[in-house]
Amino acid sequence: MNIPQWLLAASAASITLPALAVNPQPDPDNPTGYILLRTEVQVSEAAQTHDPMYSAWANALATAPNSMVEQIDEGLVANPDNVKRAERVFSRGDWDFLTQMAAPEYTYQRFLQAIGKFPAFCGDYGDGRDADAICKRSIITAFAHFAQETGGHVAKDNAWDNPLALEEWQQALVHVREMGWSEGQEGYTTGCGQNDWQNRRWPCAANQGYFGRGAKQLSYHFNYGPFSEVMFAGDATVLLNNPALVADSWLNLASAIWFFLTPQAPKPAMLHVIDRTWVPSQREIDAGIGYGFGTTINIINGGIECGEQNKTKGQPVNRIRYWEGLAAHYQIPIEADEANTCWQQTPYGSLNLNGATDVLYTNWEASWKYHADRPGGVSFECNLVGYQTAYSALVPGDYEKCVTNFYGSHANWPEVRIVDTLPTDGGAGGGTGGGDTGSGTPSGIIVWEAGVTQANVGDTVIHQGKCFTAQNPPGVWETPTQSNWFWKEVSCPVG
């Protein structure tokens, strides 16, 4: 499994993180740029992702190799444990019962393969939770949404179109492509070709359409790209260049499982609502958002389906009918603290969670906080925000890309390069890390090294070619860059 180890380590309950700040140095290879030490950048990231929920998200999005997934089929001894659990609680007979109207591209084998790609779906719990019950509830929840997103919606008494008199909740997965669209048509290309970070990260391919495909009707390049990154080891271009795979392969169901497992912070992942790994914040509780099927509606489409104004609207009413029909048939218990509806909830898009201390976010953005001790007052760090950006806290390596402005999304951000070691000789491979003169340090002057140097009052240090005398006891991170309470800039002695 591809579990991002940096997230697991950062979220260990026993972790103790030092109060470490990055220490930008002039880049010896770029007269207008700066370098940052990778270890400092990593600690800056870890300090913001130490909550155990980041580990839970990483585990949920861990994936199995496609080569293994493609070997999965019904009843095989070699099937992964989570696939065997899915077969046990939702057999081929159950699949056939709910897919009698389904498009032929959806098969039970592809359903099992989609589950096998994500070991956390129908996975084990080591804390006493009933993994079989959670697996069954997860699958039935997914089918309730499938019945709305891609269902037939044919009345039971319509003998002409529904000769088997199927319940509407038995009519999932009828459509594999959005109605009115077919391969070879360009469409849903809004924003394609613009000179922005979305196109630099997820570039649209010529003559391709990003209309709805698969069980979740994946749409738009900024959704095909991230899904492709998860399916193909970080390569966004596979599905951007060949989006038809989301209709014609096991990806048609994997796209829905991926959505089911992915938080869109501040919205939680649907799995974590169902298995109660997620704990709603006080502001969410105040907004009526808690456990139950209704919150999964809010996650999917709360902006147009939740709230008092949408109480009788067709889409949420359908979803609730389908869920209640499926839950009754499959004997899914509804707990006392669960709500099937979301009309009593504030839609997530209308819920202001900024500033809440019990809410977590999953996207990085440049921190514009002013730092007097850093060049130009720039932070040289990123922080978590509650909206989509070019950089995800769920993607290993994205924090470093944020700090270096890899996709050019931060206006007026300095040129930054991250290095494993600071230069020691003033050249590309050396220098003192502070851009000092390289011609020898004057006698009695201390070369400042952030996090190491311990200066006393009266000591003179050199940093970035400037000298400073300590006028009050500085800490090891009170980097001298200008005169302040700790330091007074002085002329550097010669020789």
From 149, 168, 284, 365, the catalytic residue: 149
Contacts for 357 with CB less than 8 Å, ≥ 6 apart? none
Structure tokens that stand for 430 in this block: 């050396």
Tell how strand 382-385 and strand 363-366 pair up: antiparallel
C-alpha 111/C-alpha 251 separation (Å) is: 9
**Helix (H), strand (E) at residue 391:** strand 391-392
Contacts for 437 with CB less than 8 Å, ≥ 6 apart? 426, 462, 465
C-alpha 147/C-alpha 124 separation (Å) is: 27
Residues in the chain: 495
Neighbour count for residue 383 (Cβ, 10 Å): 16
Residue 321 Cα distances to 148, 312, 327, angstroms: 10, 12, 10
C-alpha 440/C-alpha 449 separation (Å) is: 16
Query: Closest by alpha carbon to 273, among 352, 349, 337, 350?
Result: 337
DSSP 3-state helix, strand, coil percentages of the chain (rounded to 5)? 35, 10, 55
Contacts for 87 with CB less than 8 Å, ≥ 6 apart? 74, 75, 79, 112
Query: Closest by alpha carbon to 216, among 146, 289, 117, 309?
Result: 146
DSSP 3-state of 363: strand
- Active-site residue flag, 87: no
CA angle 312, 318, 323 (to 5 degrees): 120
Tell how strand 460-463 and strand 446-447 pair up: parallel
22 with 40: CB under 8 angstroms?
yes
**5 exposure class (CB count in 10 Å sphere: 0-12, 13-18, 19+):** exposed
Residues acting as catalytic residues? 149
